[in-house]
């Protein structure tokens, strides 16, 4: 079991968004979070990721055998939790290659206690870039500045492949993606057996491509018991 959510209640300001949510995610799963808009899916993903805008009122988040309920987002990311959000910020002045180098260096040092050699980073980057058919010139552009929605999804996949997380939280990765890109996203997920996926999708075609191993349905901030 890679993730356990135990009696989790979450609020945003004065509004309670999740109430006593329980969910278990097996290692290696492709776990779909289903439910209508406003049911609490994105709130649950953000809470697992450690988004400080959401207040955990009660309950626990157990990741890879340890209680991370009180840990911040950086700690969770270094421990192996990847977040692919719907709306990603633009970062003027920071190139994609610099962003990826700093991110991978931090993960590598956390996991091994050693610095990441530049040669190894460039080798990993080139391999991942080719898999995703990402032009080399993109790497010298600023993070997400001037990129289309589909291009941003490819960059999200690039970061995913490079960081090789234990758990990837993908909030509507198919949103704004054409059929070709949806297929690429699904294929990328299938090619990473050592990564567990929790994803949100409203599109039956994409869900069929991913072939979820488990489904949790939310409604009004609670798990629907079927």
What tens digit of pLDDT does each residue of 16-34 get? Answer: 999 999 999 999 999 999 9
Provide the pairing of β-strand 81-84 with 91-95: unpaired
- Model confidence at 226, in pLDDT bands (50, 70, 90)? low
pLDDT of the residue at 198: 97
What tens digit of pLDDT does each residue of 161-210 get? Answer: 999 999 999 999 998 889 999 999 999 999 999 999 999 998 999 999 99
Compute the distance between CA of residue 225 and CA of residue 44 in angstroms, rounded to an integer.
17
pLDDT of the residue at 101: 93
What tens digit of pLDDT does each residue of 146-157 get? Answer: 888 889 999 999
Compute the distance between CA of residue 198 and CA of residue 5 in angstroms, rounded to an integer.
13
| Average confidence (pLDDT) over 8-15 | 94
**In whole angstroms, how far apart are CA 206 and each of 55, 89, 91, 215, 216?**
31, 25, 29, 14, 17
pLDDT of the residue at 188: 94
| Domains present along the chain, CATH in parentheses | 3-223 (3.40.50.300)
Between 179-190 and 149-163, two packed helices, what is the crossing angle to 10 degrees?
10
Query: With pLDDT > 90 as the criterion, what percentage of the chain qualifies?
Result: 80
pLDDT of the residue at 66: 94
Report the predicted TM-score, pTM, of the whole model to 2 decimal places.
Answer: 0.92
pLDDT of the residue at 192: 94
What tens digit of pLDDT does each residue of 81-125 get? Answer: 999 987 778 899 999 999 999 999 988 888 888 898 999 999 999
């Amino acid at each position: 079991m890679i993730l356990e959510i135990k009696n989790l209640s979450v609020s945003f300001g004065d509004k309670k968004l999740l109430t006593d949510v329980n969910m278990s995610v097996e290692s290696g799963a492709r776990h779909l979070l289903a439910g209508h808009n406003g049911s609490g899916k994105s709130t649950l993903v953000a809470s697992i990721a450690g988004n400080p805008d959401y207040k955990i009122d009660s309950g626990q988040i157990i990741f890879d055998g340890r209680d991370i309920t009180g840990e911040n987002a950086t700690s969770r990311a270094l421990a192996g939790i990847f977040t692919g959000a719907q709306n990603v910020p633009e970062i003027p002045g920071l190139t994609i290659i610099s962003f990826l180098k700093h991110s991978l260096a931090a993960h590598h040092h956390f996991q091994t206690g050693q610095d990441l050699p530049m040669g190894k980073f460039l080798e990993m980057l080139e391999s991942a870039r080719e898999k995703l058919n990402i032009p080399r010139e993109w790497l010298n552009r600023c993070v997400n500045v001037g990129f289309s929605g589909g291009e941003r999804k490819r960059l999200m996949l690039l970061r995913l492949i490079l960081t090789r997380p234990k758990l990837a939280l993908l909030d509507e990765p198919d949103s704004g993606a054409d059929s070709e890109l949806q297929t690429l996203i699904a294929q990328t997920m299938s090619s990473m057996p050592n990564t567990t996926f929790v994803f949100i999708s409203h599109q039956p075609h994409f869900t069929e491509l991913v072939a979820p191993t488990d489904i949790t349905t939310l409604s009004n901030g609670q798990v629907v018991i079927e």
